[in-house]
Amino acid sequence: MDVVLIDSGGANIGSVRYAFERLGVRARLSADPGEIAAADRVVLPGVGAAAAGMARLRALGLVELVRGLRQPLLGICLGMQLLFEASEEGETECLGLLPGRVRKLAGGPGLRVPHMGWNALARRREDPLLAGIGDGAQAYFVHGYAAPVSADTLAASEHGEAFAAVVRRGRCWGAQFHPERSAAVGARLLENFLSERLA
């Protein structure tokens, strides 16, 4: 299995690579269009601000390439947010692979933003990416912005309001939480992403 992590500059890239290594897969970090286009699986990791993430993809000449990928693509954390049409963080135009606009979490009494820590996943739809991950499973989140719950939401979570925790449209999947920091649940999600059922 040839897995490529897009070199998006996120601080979580090393830990995502190590998470795949624990599954016996050596994921390569690359900004080379040819390598990315030829991979069996592509991962778009990311930590930080939407504007900076999109600026890096543009600087590397990868925006249209990512939009046109035909193999399974998984966005993680900011990488998932970049799959949407836009983010109100810096009024940023994103990749547009999923409809919707990423918005700042409102928080509320006793709820800090950014949302940091373990939270439950509420399954909304069946999907091979969630095989073996039960309703109410706990995952680890670190984010201040989130995508709305929509028809593309596979699992939601809640922090003052419901938000999309796992999404899918066609060959694009996204996880708002950090699989590489989510113990067995995260490992299972990455393992499912490698499954032939997603091909």
pLDDT tens per residue, range 98-151 = 999 999 999 888 899 999 999 999 999 999 999 999 999 999 999 999 999 999
pTM of the model: 0.96
* 77 given a catalytic annotation: yes
**Catalytic site residue from 143, 159, 180, 191:** 180
Measured distance CA(128)–CA(190) in Å, rounded: 11
Q: If you write DSSP's letter for every residue of 140-182 in order, what string do you get?
A: EEEESEEPPP-TTEEEEEESSSEEEEEEEETTEEEESS-GGGS
Q: Are strands 92-93 and 122-123 parallel, antiparallel or unpaired?
A: unpaired
**Catalytic site residue from 21, 77, 126, 172:** 77
* 178 given a catalytic annotation: yes
**Catalytic site residue from 35, 178, 191, 196:** 178
Q: Which amino acid is at 160?
A: G
Order of strands, edge to edge, in the sheet holding 162-169? 28-30, 3-6, 41-44, 73-76, 172-175, 162-169, 153-158, 122-123
pLDDT for 11 equals 62
pLDDT tens per residue, range 156-176 = 999 999 999 999 999 999 999
pLDDT tens per residue, range 65-98 = 999 999 999 999 999 999 999 999 999 999 999 9
pLDDT for 185 equals 98
- Do you know the residue count of the chain? 199
Q: How far is CA 32 from CA 39, 49, 74, 198, in A?
A: 11, 23, 18, 24
- Mean pLDDT across the stretch 153-157? 98
Full set of structural domains in the chain with CATH: 3-198 (3.40.50.880)
What angle is formed at CA 6 by the lines to CA 154 and CA 13, rounded to 5 degrees?
80
* 180 given a catalytic annotation: yes
